[in-house]
Each structure stands twice: as C-alpha cells, then as structure tokens.
Amino acid sequence: MSSRYELTAADFGRFSRMIRQASGINFSVDKAEVLKSGLAHRASIVGAPDLGKYYDFINGAGGGNELSRLVEYLSVQETQFFRNQPQFDALRQYVIPELARRNDDRRLLRIWCAGCSTGEEPYSVAMTLLDVLPGADSWDIRVLATDLNEAALSQAIRGWYPERKITGVDRLHRRRYFYSEDGGFRVIDDVRRLVRFQRHNLVGDPLPVESRAGCDAVFCRNVIIYFNRETAKFVIEHFYDIINSGGYLFLGHSETLWQMSTKYGLVEMGSTFIYRKPGAGEEDGRLFIPDRRLRNAGLPPGVRRDRRGPGDRRLSGRAGPTELPGRRESETHRHECRPAGPPPEEVKERARRHIDAGEFEQAANLIKQGLDRDIADAEAYFLLGIAHEKRGELAAALEDFRRALYLDPDFSLAYFHLASLFEQNGNSKCAIREYRNAGRSFAKNPPGAWETELEAFDPRSLVNLCRHKIKTLKQSA
C-alpha cells in the first residue's frame, strides 16, 4: 500500500513539523519509513490519492479530527503488565512504603502514568499499591492514566485483555486481580476503581493533576524517546512542577535526563535507579543518592505483615563465587560460507529492543547468530552480557563483558557491569578494582553511545555511584 504514496523531502518536512507541533512526537530522518507507512495507512482510509492531497485534506475544511487520528495511529505502543520488573520491585519495596509513611496523616496518594497506552502500566501500579497497602480502602488513592490515543484508552477502560497479554503476570497476581471472561481476562473492580483514564497531550494540554494534591510519583516510561530534546525538556520540567517534594519520576530503561534537567537526584533502589525530586531543604542537582536510608525502613502504617516481596514470581538464583575462565588470546574463525544476515547495527538495535521488552533469551539468540557471522564487536558482546546477566547466567555474562573490554578497553559500562557481577558473586576485591576502572573511564570519556544503556545518568552521577560502591564494599570487607 505504501508504495502508492511517495514521501518527498518536502512532504517529510511539513508532515513531521505538523505532527511534532500537535503531539511532540519527533520523526527524525532515519524514521522516515515509519512515518511514510503511517501516512499511507491513513491516506488510503480517507481516500487521498497521494500524500500532498492528504496534507491538504488534514488542513482543509473537511479534515475534521484527521490529524488526531493520524497522531493516534503513529503513537500506538506495545506494553505489558509489570514491564521492567526491577522498577516495580523498587515501587513495592521502597517507594510505596516511604510515601505511605510520609502521607499517613492525610492518607492520600497520587500517581500519574503518562503515556499509559492500553492500561497495563497503571493497572500494574494499582495492583502493587493493593499488595503493599491491604487497607487501601482507608486511603484516598488515585492513579491517573493518560494517553493521546483514544482507541487505546477505550481498551484500557474496559480492562479486558487476551491471555497472551498476561503471560508475564505471576500466578498470585492472576488469581488475586483478574477473572476469566470471554476467552480472556478482565481486571477486577477493586483495581479498576483506583485508576482514572483521561486523554491528554503532554505537549499541548494543561497538567491534568489537581494542583493542591500534586503527584507523589510520575511514570513516563518509553515516551520521551519519541520527542526531540527541546520537547522532552519541556515535559520533564512540567513533571517537576507537579511532583511533590521527595516524589519520584520513573523513566524507561533507555531514557535519560542528561542535558535536560539538573534538578532531580538519582536514588539507587535494589537493582535499578529512580529519579527523585529533592525534599524540603535539600539541594537541587543530579546527585547520586544511595538507598541506605530505605533498606531498613519499616512497613507502611497499619501493616503488620510484610507484603513487599515479589509474590510467587520465581527469582533467578545467583551464582556463587566462581573462577573466571581466562580470556582466549586467539579464536579459531570459521570461514565456511554462511547465509547473509541483517547488518550488524540492525542486529544490535533489535537486540536492544528485546532487552528493553524483557525478552532476554531472544536477545541472546539474536546476538549469538550475529557473532556466528563474525559480527564481533565490543557492543555486541556487551549486549550479550546484559542478556545473560538478566537471565541469571552470571558466569557467561562475566566472560561477555571481559570480551567487550578486550575489544574496546575504553568501554565504560562494561567495566561497571563487570564490577556489579563481581559484587554479586561476593568477590569484593575484584569488584572494587572494576568499579575503580569504571569510575576512571566514566570520568575521562565524554558521554557517547553508553549514555542510553544504563538507565539515565550523567558522568558526574556515574562517577559518584562508583565511588559509593567502592566505599560500601570497603566498609563491608
């Protein structure tokens, strides 16, 4: 179908400007085919013979809501329940108990899920609140869920999902928060009544949160990556205005506030990092804040039994201290004819998407196929290490990160992950050495490709993090 519609440079410029002004979504030149496909789909529906006529139709008297429909089509995102489990572990174990203690006097909690798509994220937040606060009916709780896409919001309001959509939900949460209906599963009313869905444009609409209550936490994950830097900065600053002192901002795994805001702090929570608006009397600035103050924190008010665990979700066992296999000084390369595969950059980009979606086995298999075709660079081994680490295959991950460093001795994040694995294995001496190497590397190397690989740091925060890790390890030795 899209072959009927040629996207000229002029068309690309005016459509991308129009969409950016209407929604904030930014289409760079490398996304021209994605834009062309979306334009062709909508143009064929309204009967426009070419994209020029489609542009005229949108801006003409009969265009109606076509621009909104186009933006909705282009903004459809795939999501899932409890996506990025370490962040939900942090929400469960640290954030909700802290907010509950802080707000115990007024017993009010407000969380905003911006860019909620079909509702899996806000429902997951609501389920987690019910997990940790069994007396939730005595609290004034509101999870505000907003999105541009009215079709996605309609599905979210219905709260019904096919079985494939809840495959990642553990048995406990399935039994507790879903019931079977029409060949799928519907979210129970106790969860749905906590969530209010609303259409909202992050760029053009006023803040949708009551100014007196503010927000205790904002989830805006895998949204600002679709904005240019100026638009993303605008949105982040608006979040800062609405987040209460000491409140939290959850971004996607590959999203960063680097060069956008220096107002938030970074808090380490378990195996992830969350942005935090400084509390009253605290200084602004992207400083690293260890979670020591949260590790031994008590339960929320009125809770006698600790419900902050991950339910019956099976946790990967961690390997004990292990002897690292030595780096091979030479490899036996196979030169037999191999079928042509996708370009190395495409392989790595697809692997990143699998990792971001929690599909670690698919990511590992994809990279291994690439390595079989001699796509052997440092970044490929680094991504393979991430996939192995997430699967709990720590010995394999150690070897992958070492190979990445063999190919690129300045690969800062490989040092950091290597140090983290040594720390998990209880090898403090090696962990301190690699954290020291990581800190030196971060300090001397300007941010490059690595800045989107470790959630959201600037160089100063990364160096501070390494120093904190070294200090902690020395104290515990």
Are 140 and 235 part of one and the same domain? yes
9, part of any domain: yes
329, part of any domain: no
**Number of domains composing the chain:** 3
Burial class (CB in 10 A: 0-12, 13-18, 19+), 228: middle
Are 430 and 362 part of one and the same domain? yes
Q: Which residue range(s) make up the domain with 268? A: 85-295
Are 390 and 283 part of one and the same domain? no
User: What pLDDT shows up at residue 455?
Assistant: 43
20, part of any domain: yes
Are 400 and 252 part of one and the same domain? no
Are 128 and 273 part of one and the same domain? yes
Parallel, antiparallel, or unpaired for β 178-181 and 243-251?
A: unpaired
162, part of any domain: yes
CATH of the domain at 40: 1.10.155.10
Whole-angstrom Cα distance, residue 453 to residue 137? 40
321, part of any domain: no
Examine the fold and report which residue of 47, 74, 101 is the final residue of a domain before the chain moves on. 74
User: What pLDDT shows up at residue 322?
Assistant: 32
User: What pLDDT shows up at residue 274?
Assistant: 86
- Cβ atoms of 445 and 409 closer than 8 Å: no
Are 59 and 170 part of one and the same domain? no
Are 135 and 14 part of one and the same domain? no
Are 25 and 155 part of one and the same domain? no
CATH of the domain at 107: 3.40.50.150
Buried b / exposed e over 358-375, threshold 16 CB at 10 Å, is bbbebbbebbeebbeeeb
CB-based contacts of 447: which residues, under 8 Å, 6+ apart? Answer: 258, 458, 459
Q: Which long-range contacts (CB under 8 A, 24 or more apart) does 174-180 make?
A: 176/127, 177/123, 177/127, 177/130
Are 398 and 470 part of one and the same domain? yes
List the one residue out of 99, 106, 68, 111 whose CA is nearest residue 208: 111
Are 234 and 98 part of one and the same domain? yes
Residue with tokens 């969530």: 195
User: In what helix (H) or strand (E) does residue 144 lie, and over which residues does it extend?
Assistant: strand 140-147
319, part of any domain: no
CATH of the domain at 434: 1.25.40.10
Sheet holding 243-251, edge to edge: 195-199, 140-147, 108-114, 215-220, 243-251, 272-276, 265-269, 288-289
Q: Write out residues in the chain with pLDDT < 70, as ranges.
A: 1-3, 24, 28, 30-31, 75-78, 209-213, 253-254, 258-259, 281, 283-342, 371-376, 445-461, 477
305, part of any domain: no
Give the CA distances from residue 213 to residues 102, 178, 201, 244, 434, in Å, rounded to whole numbers and listed in that order.
14, 30, 21, 8, 45
User: What pLDDT shows up at residue 198?
Assistant: 92
- Strands (E) located in 257-399: 265-269, 272-276, 288-289
Are 134 and 219 part of one and the same domain? yes
Are 20 and 94 part of one and the same domain? no
- 85 token code pair: 């489990």
C-alpha radius of gyration, the chain, whole number: 24
108, part of any domain: yes
List the one residue out of 232, 274, 266 whose CA is nearest residue 250: 274
Examine the fold and report which residue of 50, 74, 98 is the final residue of a domain before the chain moves on. 74
Whole-angstrom Cα distance, residue 278 to residue 286? 10
Residue with tokens 């030479």: 330
User: In what helix (H) or strand (E) does residue 234 lie, and over which residues does it extend?
Assistant: helix 229-242
Parallel, antiparallel, or unpaired for β 243-251 and 215-220?
A: parallel
Examine the fold and report which residue of 74, 104, 132 is the final residue of a domain before the chain moves on. 74
What residues form DSSP beta bridges with 109? 141
- Cβ atoms of 338 and 369 closer than 8 Å: no
- Cβ atoms of 382 and 408 closer than 8 Å: no
User: What pLDDT shows up at residue 278?
Assistant: 86
